[in-house]
A and B are shown apart, each in its own frame.
Chain A
Amino acid sequence: SQQGEEDPQALSIQEGENATMNCSYKTSINNLQWYRQNSGRGLVHLILIRSNEREKHSGRLRVTLDTSKKSSSLLITASRAADTASYFCATEGQGGSEKLVFGKGMKLTVNP
């Protein structure tokens, strides 16, 4: 069953604009991860944020985590056509489930 749910489900922007994706989840977590998938291929890990962190940066990526609202956001700044992909959030539940649960993903299209 999916725990994370990305919002919006699809986003279309112009190159150079910023893209923001949101992820909401249901149960307490130890960490939250974001992944990217180019059409029909394997997923690529983007960033991991732990439950005791509020914000993390990696290059053009900025992730925030609000555990009180059970939500996270991924911001991609100065988007490029190569950022066109599906983006997934994944959570590791607490309580020793020891497996990642992925959301259904969000399709980002960056138009040149």
Chain B
Amino acid sequence: KAGVTQTPRYLIKTRGQQVTLSCSPISGHRSVSWYQQTPGQGLQFLFEYFSETQRNKGNFPGRFSGRQFSNSRSEMNVSTLELGDSALYLCASTYDRGTDTQYFGPGTRLTVL
């Protein structure tokens, strides 16, 4: 089975712009979770989608949003980028529960200038 894929792998944006990141889960997996990883804050949970519905949400501002499509692929969007949004964004998929073993993608490295 192919693993979790994320595109793009690297992204450079400037403050105020918006960005969309994509995640394709393992075939058959219905839950997709997103995490932000920074040196200062570590790995922080953004949100989880299951069957096209946001099932859980972390403590991030409304500039961070996401969605899931009927084929379980997911996108996350960050609007009005800030310097502090520079991070490695990771998505992970599981078959069912968002707390089961997570299968992570390689991440998207976002740099905001």
Identify the A interface with B (CB < 8 A): 1-2, 30-31, 33, 35, 40-45, 48, 88, 90, 92, 97-105
> Which A residues are in CB contact (< 8 Å) with B74?
none
- Which label, helix, strand, loop or mixed, suits the secondary structure of the A interface? strand
Least CB distance from A1 to B in Å reads 8
Chain A contacts for B102, CB-based, 8 A:
33, 35, 43, 45, 90, 100
- For residue B97, CB closer than 8 A to chain A, the reply is yes
Q: Which A residues are CB-close (under 8 A) to B44?
A: 102
Contact check, A99 vs B109: say whether CB atoms are below 8 A apart. Answer: no
Is B106 a contact partner of A42 (Cβ separation < 8 A)? Answer: yes
Contacts A41-B106, A42-B90 supplied; 20 other A-B pairs, CB < 8 Å: A2-B42, A42-B92, A42-B104, A43-B92, A44-B104, A45-B101, A45-B103, A98-B48, A98-B55, A98-B97, A98-B98, A99-B48, A100-B98, A100-B102, A101-B45, A102-B42, A102-B45, A103-B42, A104-B43, A105-B43
**Shortest CB–CB separation between residue A10 and chain B, in angstroms?**
14
Residues facing A in B46-77 (CB within 8 A) are: 48, 55-56, 58-59
Kindly state the separation between the CA atoms of A104 and B37 in the bound complex, as whole angstroms.
Answer: 10
Residues of B within 8 A of A48 (CB): 101
Given A98-B55, A98-B97, A100-B98, A105 and B42 contact (CB-CB distance below 8 Å): yes
Asked if B105 and A42 sit within 8 Å, CB to CB, the answer is yes
Check if B33 is an interface residue, CB within 8 A of chain A.
Answer: yes
- A98 partner residues in chain B, CB cutoff 8 A: 48, 55-56, 97-99
Q: Say whether A31 contacts B99, CB under 8 Å.
A: yes
Residues of B near A30 (CB, < 8 A) are 99
Residue B88 at the chain A interface, CB threshold 8 Å = yes
Within 8 A of A (CB), among B13-37: 33, 35
Using CB atoms, name the residue of chain B closest to A31: B99
User: In the complex, what residues of B have CB within 8 A of residue A42's CB?
Assistant: 4, 90, 92, 104-107
Write out the residue numbers on chain B whose beta carbons fall within 8 Å of the beta carbon of A90: 102
A50 to chain B, nearest CB (A): 11
